[in-house]
C-alpha cells in the first residue's frame, strides 16, 4: 500500500539513528484521550529479520504499526525506518503494508488494480512475478469486488509487495485463508526473507509466530513485555507439563522440585513444572514413574503466561 502520510504540522526532531536498523522506535508514546495506548516504547528491528508482534487486544499493536507507517505521529519520542522519518521512507517506496481489511478498489480487475499500484513505484516488480508471489495467477482478470475473503487477502499481499519494498508490514496476513493457502503464503514469505527483506507482522495464529519468525515481540499495556526468539520466550515464561498415572493419595507430588501447579484428572496427574528435568528425576527416585509423559510448552502457553495480567488498556480493538 502507498500512504501519503498524516496531515499535521511538521515536527523537527534531531535523533541519531542507525541505518542498519529497518525499524526504530525510541521512547514512543501515544494517547487517545485518557488511554495511553503506547507507553514509552523503545525497540529496534535490524534489516533482514522476520518479526512477529504479539499481544492481547488493546496492547498497542495497531497503534505501534500506525506510528511506524507515519499514519499517526507519536505524542513524544521518535519513530524511524531505515534512518528516515516514516513518511519519507514510505514515499520512497521502501515500505509495503498489508492491512487486514480495506484497501481494495471495487469494479476493477486484479490486473488493473496491481498495475495502478505498481505505477506509483519507481522500480516495481513485474506483474507476473507479483501474481506468482501472491499465488493469484488465475485471478488476474477477476473483478476485485467479486473476490472471496481469502482471495482479497492475497490481493492485499500482492499490493504490499508490488514495489519490491525493503520492509513489509503485515496485519493479520493469513486471516480468511484456508490451511493450504496459509502454507503457500508462508512459502512466499520465506522466499522474500531469503532475499534480505525485513518482515514485521501481527497475528493471532501463534503457531505461525512460533514457526516462521526470527524473533517474537510481545506487547502489553503499550510496552514490551517479552522480546526474543520463540524458543527463548517459551523457556523463560512457560511451564512444561509432566503427566503420570498415580493411585491413592498424591498431594505430595505438588511438592516435587520445579512443580508450580498440579491438576488431577482421574488417575492422571498433570504437573506444571518450571524445571521438568528436576521433576522427572524426583519422580524416578520416588519410584512413581508410570505412564510418564512430558509435553513441552508451546508459544501459546508462553503467551498466556505473559499476558494473563496484561489487561487491555482499552476495549477498542483498533488500539
Nearest alpha carbon to residue 307 among 246, 199, 191, 225: 225
Strand ranges across the sheet with 259-265? 259-265, 268-273, 240-245, 293-295
CA separation, residue 120 to residues 55, 111, 197 (Å)? 33, 15, 20
Mean pLDDT of the region 55-68: 93
Query: pLDDT tens digits, residue range 150-183?
Result: 999 999 999 999 999 999 999 999 988 999 999 9
Q: Which residue would you say has higher pLDDT here, 234 or 84? A: 84
- Tens digits of per-residue pLDDT, 229-280? 999 998 887 789 999 998 788 999 999 999 988 999 988 999 989 889 999 9
For residue 136, what is its C-alpha cell? Answer: 493469484
The string of pLDDT tens digits covering residues 207-217 is: 999 999 999 99
- Share of residues in the chain with pLDDT > 90 (%): 74
For 318, residues 6+ apart whose C-beta sits below 8 A from its C-beta are: 62
152 with 78: CB under 8 angstroms? no
For the whole model, what pTM was predicted? 0.80
Q: What b/e readout covers 24-35, taking b as 16+ CB neighbours within 10 angstroms?
A: bbbebbbebeeb
Rounded CA separation 252/165 (Å) = 59
Q: What is the pLDDT of residue 19?
A: 66
Burial of 240 (0-12, 13-18, 19+ CB in 10 A): buried
Structural domains of the chain in order of their starting residue, each with its CATH number: 21-233 (3.40.50.300), 239-296 (3.30.70)
CB 182 within 8 A of CB 203: no
The 8-class DSSP code of residue 252 comes to G
Give the pLDDT band of residue 311 (cuts 50, 70, 90): very low
Amino acid at each position: 500500500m502507498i500512504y501519503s502520510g498524516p496531515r499535521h504540522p511538521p515536527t523537527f526532531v534531531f535523533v541519531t539513528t542507525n541505518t542498519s536498523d529497518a525499524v526504530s522506535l525510541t521512547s514512543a508514546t501515544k494517547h487517545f484521550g485518557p488511554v495511553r495506548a503506547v507507553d514509552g516504547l523503545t525497540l529496534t528491528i535490524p534489516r533482514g529479520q522476520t518479526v512477529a508482534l504479539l499481544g492481547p487486544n488493546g496492547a498497542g499493536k495497531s497503534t505501534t504499526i500506525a506510528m511506524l507507517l507515519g499514519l499517526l505521529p507519536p505524542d513524544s519520542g521518535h519513530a524511524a525506518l531505515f534512518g528516515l522519518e516514516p513518511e519519507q521512507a514510505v514515499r520512497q517506496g521502501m515500505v509495503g503494508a498489508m492491512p487486514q481489511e480495506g484497501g481494495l478498489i471495487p469494479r476493477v480487475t486484479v490486473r488493473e488494480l496491481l498495475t495502478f499500484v505498481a505505477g506509483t513505484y519507481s522500480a516495481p516488480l513485474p506483474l507476473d512475478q507479483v501474481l506468482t508471489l501472491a499465488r493469484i495467477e488465475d485471478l488476474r482478470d477477476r473483478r476485485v469486488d467479486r473476490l472471496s475473503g481469502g482471495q482479497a487477502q492475497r490481493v492485499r499481499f500482492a499490493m504490499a509487495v508490488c514495489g519490491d519494498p525493503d520492509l513489509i508490514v503485515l496485519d493479520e496476513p493469513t486471516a480468511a485463508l484456508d490451511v493450504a493457502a496459509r502454507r503457500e503464503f508462508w512459502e512466499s514469505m520465506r522466499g522474500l526473507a531469503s532475499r534480505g527483506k525485513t518482515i514485521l507482522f501481527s497475528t493471532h495464529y501463534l503457531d505461525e509466530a512460533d514457526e516462521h519468525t526470527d524473533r517474537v515481540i510481545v506487547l502489553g499495556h503499550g510496552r514490551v513485555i517479552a522480546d526474543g526468539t520463540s524458543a527463548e520466550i517459551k523457556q523463560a515464561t512457560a511451564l512444561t507439563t509432566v503427566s503420570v498415572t498415580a493411585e491413592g493419595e498424591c498431594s505430595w507430588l505438588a511438592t516435587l522440585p520445579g512443580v508450580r501447579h498440579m491438576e488431577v484428572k482421574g488417575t492422571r496427574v498433570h504437573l506444571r513444572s518450571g524445571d521438568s528435568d528436576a521433576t522427572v528425576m524426583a519422580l524416578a527416585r520416588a519410584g512413581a514413574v508410570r505412564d510418564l509423559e512430558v509435553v513441552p510448552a508451546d508459544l501459546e502457553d508462553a503467551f498466556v503466561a505473559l499476558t494473563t495480567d496484561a489487561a487491555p488498556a482499552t476495549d477498542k480493538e483498533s488500539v
